[in-house]
Amino acid sequence: MADILLVDMQSFYASVEKAEAPHLKNRPVIVSGDPERRSGVVLAACPLAKRYGVKNAERLGEAQAKCPDAVIVRPRMQRYIDVSVMITELFERYTDLVEPYSIDEQFLDVTGSRRLFGDPFTIAKNIQQAIMREFGIYARVGIGPNKALAKMACDHFAKKNASGIHRLDMSNIRQDLWPLPVGKLFGIGKRMEHHLRRMGISTIGGLAAHPPELLKKRWGINGELLQRTARGIDPSPVTVNTHSRQKAIGHNMTLPRDYSRFEDIKVVLLELSEEVARRARFKQYIGHTVSVSIRGADFDFPSGFHRQRKLVSPTNFGMDIFKTAVKLFKEHWNGEPVRSAGVSLSQLEPCDYVQLSLFDAQEKKISLGKVLDDIHERYGPASLLHAASLTEAGQAFHRAEKIGGHYK
């Protein structure tokens, strides 16, 4: 039987900040966005702050009302990425099968490491101690015979017990996992939970025992997959190649204020399209489909849309993406203020070969894209921009200081 670990760094961003600033050790710390430009949301809160009821993703003002003494730290995304990479290197001392799941969670297959390092509990404890010793970060570890059970062992048990380690397998799945609400199953969101509860399925055990033909009839292969997960079945291996081939390249921007004018929103779509194109060229992809995602200004009552359109020919040129994005936006925008916008390019394929068109000036676009990329590489992402980015609506200069929407 395989031994899979899911290692999760507790309150990762806040833990990095506290580990590198000893004077914050006994202070509640909240890592939040830029409060000077907008209200900001909580990206991470340390356990001391969470005792006051502070939650991730809530507005900074609400968090400060709960915990007035909290120290607010602006995020340093580049540092968090660097620490995450160094933690990956630590894991590779124990196994060569390490799969990052997110910046603060990674899967490890230690099946072949037992002879060298002992049973999975011993390995988990050694890893936990090494992370604390080298980075000052407390890690929780879920253990299971597959990735799904390791993930749920960590989320529902290791994060709540004194040791920070828990194993979930066929010997204890019935008493540990099955009594939990069905929404706790790995892979189930709020909408699917709602549908399952309407069918009378309220627990994970209830889903595991439900007639599979009924689930498959309603949701096809996805219904069968969810039931297999509830029964502790997950054949997906831990692999270092999980993220090597992207399905899509996208860029999303939460705006510092409500954008109500079409001309202003066009500037944002242009900047997003150019960034997506740049990333696609960097990864040497072209894409067949452009998507636009828009979210309204009222976060309590979400509005907006997500639409996509297939291109006549694949591209990684910014203006091609932009023209399609603008068309999609004009067709589906209801005129309400916009607070978040995203553009993505999907159905990717390597750009090793390009189908030339007599009407598309493809070779000129390839040459122009290379020039743009060379300038950005040498002088920075804000060195050459469209004139529209100089208007009040433009965000490119400000975004150039960030990684993933947060300060480096």
- Supply the residues annotated as catalytic: 105
Distance CA 183, CA 274 (A): 39
Binding site annotation covers 360? no
Cβ burial, residue 270 (10 Å; 0-12/13-18/19+): buried
Tell me which residue has tokens 């939990």: 180
Angle between helices 221-230 and 212-219 (to 10 degrees): 140
The two tokens of residue 358 are 């007599």
Distance CA 209, CA 38 (A): 48
Helix or strand run (H / E) with residue 144: strand 139-144
The two tokens of residue 97 are 């099968």
402 backbone dihedrals φ, ψ, rounded to 5°: -120, 165
Cα distances (Å, whole numbers) of residue 94 to 83, 158, 169, 189, 258: 18, 20, 22, 33, 49
Binding site annotation covers 373? no
Distance CA 147, CA 215 (A): 23
Residues of the binding site for Mg(2+): 8, 104
